[in-house]
A and B are shown apart, each in its own frame.
Chain A
């Protein structure tokens, strides 16, 4: 019999707040982190993105450490993990693992042409720096699977605890807005001129964002916030830089996750989808959801609040979705106006109340990757 797996602690560091509570009140308020930026060190032209101010990061970090050696992203990751490690009272022994998930990590270090800086661009070095701050005893595990990294890390944590190699796993996910990533998405002509509009008729692409999120995954029922009941990550096997037109990988990922969860698709009360606001991605998601007869389930993309935070997005959006479920609230899919995908889906247009027992989190990314995870609310 495999162990049952739970998420026991959550936290996030975003432009909307440095804890879960402040993020939820900002979302209920309709605030967005996406602003117009005019910074030629990042982009030659003005651009919309969701960026955290350096002052906020440094001021929060100075309250927990006087060390100056950490990169900006490392500080954001440490800030996300610190309160949950402290609250959990979990001993960092040989049965406690640390998973770091990221798409590009400290890629900004490549802009500086020194050997030391180059070393810091390595993801295992990033993971070691963060792990050593807290004193983890086990070798850090880095998940780097493009934009599904953050939610895939929850699957990996679940699987590793079920394999009984570990009992408890702290998971952090994070990515920054950088010249590297902005120029790349721009070269793909995937950037939106205006704040992104997931699933909308007039969507033209992504707004990029930055954030970190952290969760504690364990088999400990006593402190559980939510139960992880099914997961799957299936490749489209179709194209390295575009989604499958039939949504095959996402369709199969959701189908497998529901099968493992042993629930029918009609049990789902809410879907926290990926919704990057690129024409192809959102269309692909709508097709996959319709193939599973999920077109009437309320769905949102949180990209209108946070932008696309790459590897962080899946975990950040899970943290917010857990609040959605536990507070029985549906949050608006910010930026949405008129449906712009060929098959109808039930995009949440304004905040509302709904009893949520089961929800689905999905993500998709370059390389044809997709991840779906099904969660069940704890019964009181």
Chain B
């Protein structure tokens, strides 16, 4: 292993109708569906971004998580070289299935460009990039389960080769109302707060 000294700066987990930011529960509601949960979370944090309501569930999930991590550290005055490295298991299958339903029945055939565009997992990277004006490295990966070794090595090499100043990396999984997001910001700035943690231990908390 090359010397990739990087530190976890902040992290967020979204699952089971709850958002936990840096280990503290910041939003929790009674069990409901994701559409309702995401809308309530959006309102709770007073996010002013109407495009949110056009997004599919995967993009909404990634957007909510990234919003709370990136808003405090991005500025409109300067370039923010924060790479996006996200992964999941189900790709965009939740929307793929919906799109497939729109073309399966020839008597009821209504393919929509607004749905088709979300049949790509990396669209959520585009949504985050647009929101925070991140003209930065971005890539989407699929694994059968959370792959901490890959994500930390890949993020490390982006920092190490100066392709990014920080990396937002993690897991955004959504299929059929089952969801989990775990995102964290990694950079070379020394931060001892999470020195005994790895992205794997934080993911499993």
Q: Does A233 sit within 8 A of B, measured CB to CB?
A: yes
Q: Does A111 sit within 8 A of B, measured CB to CB?
A: yes
Instruction: Choose one: B2, B130, B132, B157; the contact of A240 (CB below 8 Å).
Output: B130
Q: A121-B93, A367-B122, A369-B126 are in contact. Are A184 and B111 (CB under 8 A)?
A: yes
CA distance A105 to B121 in the complex (A): 12
Instruction: Choose one: B97, B134, B147, B161; the contact of A2 (CB below 8 Å).
Output: B161
Shortest CB-to-CB span from B197 to chain A, Å, is 21
Q: Does A187 sit within 8 A of B, measured CB to CB?
A: yes
Question: Interface size (B, Cβ < 8 Å)?
Answer: 53
B157 touches A369 (CB 8 A): no
**In the complex, which residues of chain B have a beta carbon less than 8 angstroms from the beta carbon of A249?**
135
B142 touches A235 (CB 8 A): no
Q: Does A66 sit within 8 A of B, measured CB to CB?
A: no
Question: Interface size (A, Cβ < 8 Å)?
Answer: 57
Q: Which of B117-148 contact A (CB under 8 A)?
A: 117, 119-123, 125-127, 129-130, 132-144, 147
Q: Does B91 sit within 8 A of A, measured CB to CB?
A: yes
B153 touches A163 (CB 8 A): yes
CA distance A107 to B91 in the complex (A): 11
A163 touches B111 (CB 8 A): no
B142 touches A142 (CB 8 A): yes
Proximity string of chain A (160-185) to chain B, C-beta cutoff 8 Å, 1 when within and 0 when not: 10111100000000000001100110
Residue of B nearest to A145 (CB): B122
CA distance A180 to B97 in the complex (A): 10
**In the complex, which residues of chain A have a beta carbon less than 8 angstroms from the beta carbon of B158?**
159
CA distance A188 to B118 in the complex (A): 13
**In the complex, which residues of chain A have a beta carbon less than 8 angstroms from the beta carbon of B125?**
145, 235, 367, 369
Instruction: Choose one: B139, B144, B156; the contact of A143 (CB below 8 Å).
Output: B139
Residue of A nearest to B147 (CB): A139
Instruction: Choose one: B90, B113, B137; the contact of A232 (CB below 8 Å).
Output: B137
Q: Does B96 sit within 8 A of A, measured CB to CB?
A: yes
CA distance A110 to B130 in the complex (A): 31
Q: Does A152 sit within 8 A of B, measured CB to CB?
A: yes
A124 touches B89 (CB 8 A): yes
Q: A180-B100, A240-B130, A368-B130 are in contact. Are A233 and B139 (CB under 8 A)?
A: yes
A367 touches B126 (CB 8 A): yes
A162 touches B157 (CB 8 A): yes
Q: Does B11 sit within 8 A of A, measured CB to CB?
A: no
A237 touches B121 (CB 8 A): no
B93 touches A122 (CB 8 A): yes
Instruction: Choose one: B103, B132, B138, B143; the contact of A141 (CB below 8 Å).
Output: B143
**In the complex, which residues of chain A have a beta carbon less than 8 angstroms from the beta carbon of B111?**
183-184, 186-187
Residue of A nearest to B127 (CB): A240
Shortest CB-to-CB span from A11 to chain B, Å, is 23
Shortest CB-to-CB span from B82 to chain A, Å, is 11
Shortest CB-to-CB span from B194 to chain A, Å, is 21
Shortest CB-to-CB span from A97 to chain B, Å, is 9
CA distance A111 to B111 in the complex (A): 14
What would be 30 A-B contacts, judged by CB atoms less than 8 Å apart?
A122-B91, A124-B142, A139-B144, A141-B143, A143-B141, A144-B120, A144-B122, A144-B140, A146-B120, A146-B122, A152-B139, A160-B150, A162-B157, A164-B1, A165-B150, A180-B96, A183-B111, A184-B119, A186-B111, A188-B116, A233-B137, A233-B138, A235-B136, A236-B126, A236-B129, A237-B133, A239-B126, A252-B135, A367-B120, A367-B123
Nearest first, the 7 A-B pairs at minimum CB distance are A367-B126, A142-B142, A184-B116, A235-B129, A124-B144, A237-B129, A163-B157
